[in-house]
Structure 1
């Protein structure tokens, strides 16, 4: 039986080399197909995440050469909307931050969420509550000032430094969640003793398991 390709849906091209590097390092031989559609995030920010559902359905219905296959959505803002389309698509859809959220609630009840984009905060908090499954959790959200503008300007080093500095300033938390995949590199720059979680590596690992599911 042929193992299906994994389609990755991105709203920024910066994610493509990140996930390709993870594949080379941890999953050699896995076949990744990248779709990059920045307009989806623009629309979700302007009109709400649910507004992108029709466009997502059109995109993902034709994503694979043999029809829909497993999909990993790397944008946290539209992740829940995409996951909800799985029954219609007839294929598994995973938001990249779900495995990270599951690890966060296992780590401790006091969770600090850092995001560069305000539209990411509510979906991430909702995901953490969902993964907690009724267990009490306290989620504090932090918007990293100036980070998104730096990201859009293409200054990745400064962007990650801003995120790392914000993580180092967090107190009273059991775990820190970097809500956006683009923040992952900041985890290597922090000096805090609080665990800092990012989404690309666990998200890709879980999504590749889906390609092997019957």
Structure 2
């Protein structure tokens, strides 16, 4: 069965092809890149946009993995895998408080709702500390991915040092995954969604 990936940034095509080459060499991926969907969703997802996303997923070949956190709930309603679900499940299984960093305001509500749902499913009440990093998003849009990752890592280090009960850090958006490599020296897990989600999706094929 084909795995289709619905992206809202061209950069994700390279990210997931690189992951595929390491995790499942030879596995074909079908990419759909629609930046306009995120541009529209940032102002709220209306019925027209919801229907368009559903049609994309229903007509895509095979199983669809939606790599956009903002579109995640709507995509899941249409039968797609949400990119952040495996990551949120992993976070819910770890002890301690959770620092959830995000770079788009439209990401906050769906990410927080999913994380809280996974915590409830795991029967593990835990404080979640949202960390908005919206000022860094223009770097990603401009293609300055290294500066984007460095900025995220610096902000997370600063905040994490002030949270003694912290047990894990969640990078809410796939675009933020590069910061995880810059935080490997921390004594707590830093969770990014792309690899966890691709492994989960491939296991269902």
TM over 0.5: yes
| Offset, 1:48 | 3.3
Give the aligned partner of residue 56 of structure 2.
59
Aligned equivalent of 2:6, options 1, 5, 9: 9
Aligned-partner SS, 2:178: helix
Gaps of 5+ in 1: 87-92
| Offset, 1:49 | 7.2
Give me the TM-score of the superposition, normalised by structure 1.
0.88
Give the aligned partner of residue 19 of structure 2.
22
Aligned equivalent of 2:114, options 105, 124, 127: 127
Give the aligned partner of residue 112 of structure 1.
99
**RMSD of aligned C-alpha atoms?**
1.5
| Offset, 1:122 | 1.4
Find the aligned partners of 1:151 and 1:29 in 2 and give their Cα distance. 29
1:176-195 pair list within 5 angstroms: 176-190=169-183, 191-195=185-189
Give the aligned partner of residue 73 of structure 2.
80
| Offset, 1:29 | 2.2
Find the aligned partners of 1:94 and 1:109 in 2 and give their Cα distance. 27
Aligned residue pairs total: 198
| Offset, 1:181 | 0.3
Aligned equivalent of 1:196, options 190, 194, 198: 190
Give the aligned partner of residue 89 of structure 1.
none
Aligned equivalent of 1:151, options 125, 140, 158: 140
Give me the TM-score of the superposition, normalised by structure 2.
0.91
After TM superposition, the structure 1 stretch with the greater mean CA deviation from structure 2, 45-54 or 129-138, is 45-54
| Offset, 1:52 | 2.8
Distance 1:22 1:42, change over 3 A: same
Find the aligned partners of 1:193 and 1:158 in 2 and give their Cα distance. 23
Find the aligned partners of 1:57 and 1:126 in 2 and give their Cα distance. 21
Aligned-partner SS, 2:124: coil
| Offset, 1:128 | 0.6
Aligned-partner SS, 1:121: helix
Contact 1:167–1:192 under 8 Å retained in 2: no
Contact 1:49–1:77 under 8 Å retained in 2: no
| Offset, 1:130 | 1.2
Tell me the alpha carbon deviations over residues 15-34 of structure 1, each in whole angstroms, 9 at most, x when there is no partner: 00110001001111211100
